[in-house]
């Protein structure tokens, strides 16, 4: 089979795939010129042609990857027997950027501190909520994503298709391979918790460790809307406590007076959340661990806490002795 991986042909315009013109910073603009379209070989055998170029397209492409909010990380181009490779459609035209392996990309991307990006190795991570709700949110919220690629590819499929059926693969595609999200979610859970049977679970563990952002939900008693915090953005309980305080301060003020300005003046700081960790304040911070039990924050070393905490909660200290510490044992299939 022949596919055309146009080499250096045309200039992919990344920004076209971001309809709302979101600026991805200097990366995309600067690297645009350096984006190389090439066909890569699996397993990093002969990368001579592409080695030096990899660094650049990776960043932008991964930005694109993020835009696409993909759950499955990579596509295969239809080269002869090649099953590895990461193609990103950056433009309506049928160009693709082939990047070789995901771990390299991960490192690259992490350097950019795109904290909200959740990467996955080999598509295991179940960002995908059941019923594709995450998909929907992403689509509505960001206005771009795989469908950007889709629409582009649809529109230009006339251009793309030749008799030899050699369309460069688009960004990782929604719903392909056609495995039910139910199965993918549960498989992810099983893999993460199963003993190591074969190499694939090692990859899952590696994934868990490599992630540089860990967003968990945090709810507060009396406030109907929760927030999310990135546990990896902090390195100690104190910093977390401060962050939680800041997160909810505005919300609490809004509860009292919905018209209150978001920036509090000093005199209105009575809602500051202090004493979250030592039980001395009005509120206490608890978390739910990977077994589903509700635990007091602060007992274990910080790193262990980060690896175990699945969600956080700010409870009224007076409620502590009540049902809130009862083990619930409820597992969630998707990481918050």
Nearest to 297 by CA among 268, 272, 318, 325: 325
C-alpha dihedral (51, 52, 57, 63), degrees to nearest 10? 90
Sign of the dihedral through C-alpha 237, 240, 246, 248:
negative
Give the residue with the Cβ less far from another protein, 30 or 190.
190
Binding mask 278-317 for another protein (x = CB under 8 A): ----------x--xx-------------------------
User: Which residue number, 187 or 300, has a Cβ lying nearer to another protein?
Assistant: 187
Binder of another protein out of 30, 179, 256, 274 (CB under 8 A): 179
Report the DSSP beta bridge partners of residue 9.
none
User: In whole angstroms, how close is the CB of 270 to another protein at the nearest point?
Assistant: 28
The token pair at 194 is 């199963």
Least distance to another protein from the beta carbon of 302, Å? 21
- 287, two tokens: 């978390």
Helical packing angle, 199-210 and 181-193, nearest 10° = 90
Residue 182 touches another protein, criterion: CB under 8 A: yes
29-37, 250-258, 275-283, 323-331 -> range binding another protein (CB under 8 A): 323-331
321 binds another protein per the rule CB under 8 A: no
Cβ proximity to another protein, 27 vs 123, nearer residue:
123
- Reading the block at residue 157, the tokens are 């499929």
94 touching another protein, by CB under 8 A: no
Alpha helices in 130-224 (DSSP H): 133-142, 146-155, 157-160, 181-193, 199-210
Which range in 56-64, 170-178, 227-235, 299-307 contacts another protein by CB under 8 A?
170-178
Name the DSSP letter for residue 42: G
**Angle at the Cα of 52 (from 50 to 53), degrees rounded to 5?**
65
Draw the binding track, 194-233, toward another protein (x: CB under 8 A; -: no contact): xx-xx-xx--------------------------------
Which of 117, 148 has the CB closer to another protein? 148
Looking at the Cβ atoms of 11 and 84, the one nearer to another protein is 84
130/280 with CB nearer another protein: 130
Q: What are phi and psi of 200, to 5 degrees?
A: -65, -35
CB of 247 to another protein, least distance (A): 19
Q: Which sign does the torsion angle of CA 154, 156, 157, 158 carry? A: positive
Per CB under 8 A, the list member of 61, 62, 169, 214 interacting with another protein is: 169
Q: Could you tell me which stretch among 54-62, 88-96, 163-171, 299-307 binds another protein (CB under 8 A)?
A: 163-171
Pick out residues in 26-85 that bind another protein (CB under 8 A): 72-78, 80-81, 83-85
Residue 286: strand pairing partners: 296, 313
163 near another protein (CB under 8 A):
yes
For the CB of residue 25, give the shortest distance to another protein in the complex, in Å.
23
E runs forming strands in the chain: 86-89, 96-99, 215-220, 223-230, 283-288, 294-296, 311-316
159: contact with another protein by CB under 8 A = no
| Dist CA 32 CA 14 (whole Å) | 7
Contact pick of 30, 49, 190, 256 for another protein (by CB under 8 A): 190
Stretch that binds another protein, among 137-145, 208-216, 239-247, 253-261 (CB under 8 A): 137-145
CB contact at 8 A, 171 and 70: yes
Strand partners, 228: 217
Distance between CA 336 and CA 333 in Å, rounded?
A: 9
Binding of residue 161 to another protein (CB under 8 A): yes
* Residue 189 in contact with another protein, rule: CB under 8 A: yes
């Amino acid at each position: 089979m022949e596919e055309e991986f146009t080499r250096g042909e045309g200039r992919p315009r990344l920004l076209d795939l971001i309809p709302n013109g979101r600026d991805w910073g200097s990366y995309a603009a600067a690297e645009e010129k350096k984006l190389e379209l090439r066909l890569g070989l699996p397993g990093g055998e002969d990368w001579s042609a592409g080695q030096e170029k990899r660094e650049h397209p990776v960043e932008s492409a991964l930005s694109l990857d993020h835009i696409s909010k993909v759950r499955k990380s990579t596509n295969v181009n239809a080269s002869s027997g090649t099953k590895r490779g990461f193609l990103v459609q950056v433009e309506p035209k049928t160009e693709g950027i082939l990047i070789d392996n995901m771990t390299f990309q991960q490192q690259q991307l992490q350097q950019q501190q795109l904290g909200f990006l959740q990467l996955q190795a080999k598509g295991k991570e179940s960002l995908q909520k059941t019923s594709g709700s995450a998909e929907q949110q992403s689509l509505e919220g960001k206005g771009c994503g795989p469908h950007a690629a889709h629409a582009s590819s649809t529109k230009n499929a006339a251009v793309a298709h030749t008799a030899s059926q050699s369309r460069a693969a688009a960004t990782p595609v929604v719903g392909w391979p056609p495995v039910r999200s139910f199965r993918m979610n549960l498989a992810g859970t099983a893999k993460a918790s199963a003993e190591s049977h074969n190499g694939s679970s090692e990859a899952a563990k590696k994934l868990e460790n490599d992630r540089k952002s860990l967003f968990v939900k945090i709810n507060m008693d009396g406030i109907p809307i929760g927030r999310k915090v990135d546990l990896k953005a902090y390195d100690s309980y104190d910093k977390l406590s401060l962050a939680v305080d800041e997160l909810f301060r505005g919300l609490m003020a809004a509860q009292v007076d919905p018209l209150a300005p978001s920036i509090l003046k000093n005199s209105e700081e009575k809602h500051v959340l202090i004493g979250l960790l030592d039980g001395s304040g009005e509120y206490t911070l608890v978390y739910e661990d990977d077994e589903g039990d509700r635990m007091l924050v602060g007992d274990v070393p910080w790193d262990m806490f980060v690896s175990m905490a699945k969600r956080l909660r700010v409870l009224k200290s007076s409620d502590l002795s009540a049902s809130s510490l009862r083990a619930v044992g409820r597992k969630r299939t998707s990481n918050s």
